[in-house]
Amino acid sequence: HKATSSSSSSPSTATLVNYTEDRVINLDHGDPTMYTRYWQQAGDKSTIVIPGWQSVSYFSDIGNLCWFLEPEFAKQVLRLHQIVGNAVTRDRHIVVGTGSTQLFQAVLYALCPQDAIEPISVVSAAPYYSSYPAITDCVKSNLYKWAGDARSFSKGGPYIELVTSPNNPDGYSRQAVVNRTGGLLVHDLAYYWPQYTPITSPADHDIMLFTISKSIGHAGMRIGWAVVKDPEIAKKMVKYIELSTIGVSKDSQVRAAKVLEVVSDSYECTKSVEETLFDFSYRKMNERWTPLREAVEQSGLFSLPEFSPDFCKFSGRLFKPQPVMHLHTCMVRCAAFAWLKCEEPIEDCEAFLREHKILTRSGRHFGVSPEYVRISMLDRDENIDLFIERLSKIGLEQPI
Ligand code: PMP
């Protein structure tokens, strides 16, 4: 835009080259814009029309524990979990939230007794998702308090441990680390989808959080869901959402139901031969990770987590007339973020990359050292391509 709007005639090649070289690449946020292309290609299948008279009532399903849950959204959530095999949903309650961000807050409220003498400690193993401490302490609640890295947590009594698997920022699979009596576990499974990690078995935990943002890309819909075993916990979560926003946008739930339906249809409809969402996104992630690893190796300045291949039980092939599925039963993990470590003598990786006009998020925000940065791998092609190209040149030009 900058290159074309600055002159009335078409930009010269030199202007464009300069513009590309100067351009700041912002990979700080995990904005999943990579998925836009898939949904553009999918065309009108996911288009819905909402008449003006719809969504007048606050209520969606008054007989349901979660009275603001749109039945069609719940149906499509259960259907997709069934197809992918990434979560046990039988005899569980689905609670919808305004993103899994709201559900996380609802869980904290639901797990903490109102009459506790002191706030319950909330922990997660470092490097942890940078929003956890900020959200936990934002209203300085008397119910709960951020207590940092789960690995060094030694306080007695009840606590809440957040287990993010695969983990944001580093992409590794995780299990609880504190393992003491009085511990309450919340599993944030935002990335437990086959484009990011092999689906080895259906997750079966008391409280599991999922989000539309990272599963199929529509972060702007602001829709997440929790799969909850204990009805009393689910009720309290519903209470929190009632108090904070009196439910969750029906229009968003209806749209979410439609896009989820399109994804599931592409696996179950035997006539369909077009690329499915998880094919598309796994292929894209792979096409990004391969040159990124090459650039990192060649630079000698950085390193990345190593993942060993594993068996993915999800394979769309089962549902297809011919083997058009590119997801392999044995797959390499393609994490949503590159957790990059700068090697010596670089101490502040974020500052170092900023000098090269690459914006990332420092390890400091994730409870570890500034030698690390988190880089979103979910951005648009042009940003990721330019980032990898720029990174591959850093090693060559750096006089160390
Ligand atoms: N949990 C994790 C681990 C995340 O990475 C994110 C998004 N960055 C969220 C929760 C929040 O997702 P949502 O858009 O549904 O609020």
Q: Is 100 in the pocket of ligand 1 (CB under 6 A)?
A: yes
Query: Residue 213: CB within 6 Å of ligand 1?
Result: yes
Note the pLDDT tens digit of each residue in 86-122: 999 999 999 999 999 999 999 999 999 999 999 999 9
| Centroid of ligand 1 to alpha carbon of 113 (angstroms) | 25
Residue 97 CA, closest ligand 1 atom number: 15
- Expressed in angstroms and rounded, the spacing between residue 223 Cα and the centre of ligand 1 is 10
User: Residue 88 corresponds to which amino acid?
Assistant: V
- pLDDT tens-digit readout, 12-46: 665 555 567 789 999 999 999 999 999 999 999 99
Between helices 250-268 and 71-84, what is the axis angle to 10°? 30
Checking if the pLDDT of 317 tops 90, the result is no
b/e map of 153-184 (b: 16 or more CB within 10 Å)?
beeeebbbbbbbbbbbbbbbbbebebeeeebb
**Cβ of 219 below 6 Å from ligand 1:** yes
Tell whether pTM > 0.90. Answer: yes
Q: Whose CA is nearest to atom 6 of ligand 1?
A: 190
Which residues are within 8 A (CB) of 379 and not within 5 positions of it... i.e. 6 or more apart? 27, 31, 33, 34
Residues 364-399 have pLDDT tens digits of 999 999 999 999 999 999 999 999 999 999 876 655
| Mutation pick for ligand 1 pocket among 167, 214, 339 (CB with most ligand atoms within 8 Å) | 214
**For residues 247 and 362, what is the distance between their CA atoms, to the nearest angstrom?**
35
d(C-alpha 198, C-alpha 192), whole Å = 8
Tell me which of 34, 129, 196 to substitute to probe ligand 1's pocket, judged by most ligand atoms within 8 Å of the beta carbon.
129
Q: Per-residue pLDDT tens for 53-91?
A: 999 999 999 999 999 999 999 999 999 999 999 999 999
- Residue 4 pLDDT greater than 80, yes or no: no
How many angstroms separate the alpha carbon of residue 296 from the centre of ligand 1? 27
Sorted by sequence, the CB contacts under 8 Å of residue 42 that are 6+ apart come out as 262
Q: What is the DSSP letter of 219?
A: G
Check if 127 has its Cβ closer than 6 Å to any atom of ligand 1: no
Nearest Cα to Cα of residue 298 among 387, 371, 394 = 394
Rounded to a whole number of angstroms, the distance between the first and last alpha carbons of the chain is 36
Cα 134 to ligand 1 centre (Å) = 13
Give the amino acid at 339.
W
- CA–CA dist 303, 313 (Å, integer): 30
